[in-house]
Structure 1
Amino acid sequence: MITRRETVLKALHEALLGMPGGATVMRNAVLPERIPDAGLVILRDGTPGTPEVTLSPLRWHWQHRAELEVFLRGGDLDERFDALTAAIGALLAGDRTLGGICDWIEAEAPEPADLPVEGATTIRAAALGITLHYTTADALA
């Protein structure tokens, strides 16, 4: 039986796979040696945190914080980074419940950094926090 947590994370990953622009999307992957030309997005499962609990009926209300790591290299990094993060934002805003699987999803502003690579083009990397709100009938469900 798949948990609600895994169902929500799989739904987010599948939604990201359909993002326009051609960026490669992976889940919990090791950073590859080469960043694809269209960019790379890695979904990290993150942590569900401490839930709020209601007693009647007994339910656990999670604010699960996942993270997207975004990587781009070469070209106009400012414009391409803006386009990629805007595409992620539009995708999430277009279906805040991931087809009814999640109660609500929201993104935090990115934290970009340029990573110089000796003998190669600079890589723009960023972390985007994603908060997934969902409810379970059990702490481990």
Structure 2
Amino acid sequence: MSKHQEVAAAVKELVKRALPVAKVIGMDLDEAKPTSIGELGQAIVRSGDAGEPEIDLSPPTWWWERTFPIELAARNEPSRSAQEVLAEMAMKVGVEISSDPYLGGLCVWLDATAPTDGEVDERGAAPIAWCDFGIVASYSTTSPLG
């Protein structure tokens, strides 16, 4: 497994740990936005684009700053709006990032971008609120293919 794949898998696992009751999908064949979500919310982790690395020549090292797009979905709950549920879900991911900003040694730093405001999507009987943000992983490889 390449370092790129290891980091991507670790980011998805981080989101699963942060949101243990939500369905977490993505980076598989199921990357399309779903038409329905479970009652306990959903997260989609996308692979994003690694972009162009910075390169050190001695020793050859490629420095990547890859943003993994994260989409969160939630429904209204009896005591909270879907936007409040989304904010809590995003904060839980932030807490998980803060607890291990090195992603188990795979990254030199892990951070997140600010989330968008939850937009409401009227699908079926109950509205679904969506927000998105990015998890930014900074890491290095010894090969551009690594």
TM-score (norm 1): 0.91
Alpha-carbon distance change, 138 to 130 in structure 1, aligned in 2, over 3 angstroms: same
Report deviation, 1:127: 1.2
Is the CA contact 1:64–1:133 (under 8 Å) kept in the aligned structure 2?
Answer: yes
Q: What code does the residue aligned with 2:10 have?
A: A
Conserved? CA contact 1:21–1:84, under 8 Å: no
| Matching residue within 26, 33, 40 for 2:42 | 40
What's the CA shift for 1:27? 1.9
Q: For structure 1, which runs of at least 5 residues remain unmatched after alignment?
A: none
Please give the alpha-carbon distance, in whole angstroms, between the structure 1 residues aligned to 2:97 and 2:137.
Answer: 11
Counterpart of 1:14 in structure 2 is: 13
**2:143 matched to which residue of 1?**
138
Could you tell me how far 1:112 is from its partner in structure 2?
A: 2.5
Q: Do structure 1's residue 26 and structure 2's residue 28 form an aligned pair?
A: no
Q: Which runs of 5+ in 2 are unaligned?
A: none
Say what the alpha-carbon RMSD is for the aligned residues: 1.5
- In the alignment, structure 1 residue 60 sits paired with structure 2 residue 59: no
Equivalent residue for 1:121?
Answer: 126
Tell me, in whole angstroms, the C-alpha distance in 2 between the residues paired with 1:82 and 1:116.
17
Q: Which moved more, 1:82-91 or 1:120-129?
A: 120-129
Give the letter for the 1:41 counterpart. A
4+ long deviations beyond 3 Å: none
Q: Check if 1:78 corresponds to 2:77.
A: no
Q: How many pairs does the alignment contain?
A: 140
* Percent of aligned pairs sharing the same letter: 29
After superposition, give the CA deviation of every residue in 1:87-127 in whole Å (9 maximum; x if it has no partner): 01101111011111111110001013423416522211111
Counterpart contact for 1:114–1:122, Cα < 8 Å? no
Separation in structure 1 between the aligned mates of residue 36 and residue 123 of structure 2, nearest angstrom: 14
Select between 28-37 and 100-109 the one with higher mean Cα deviation.
Answer: 28-37
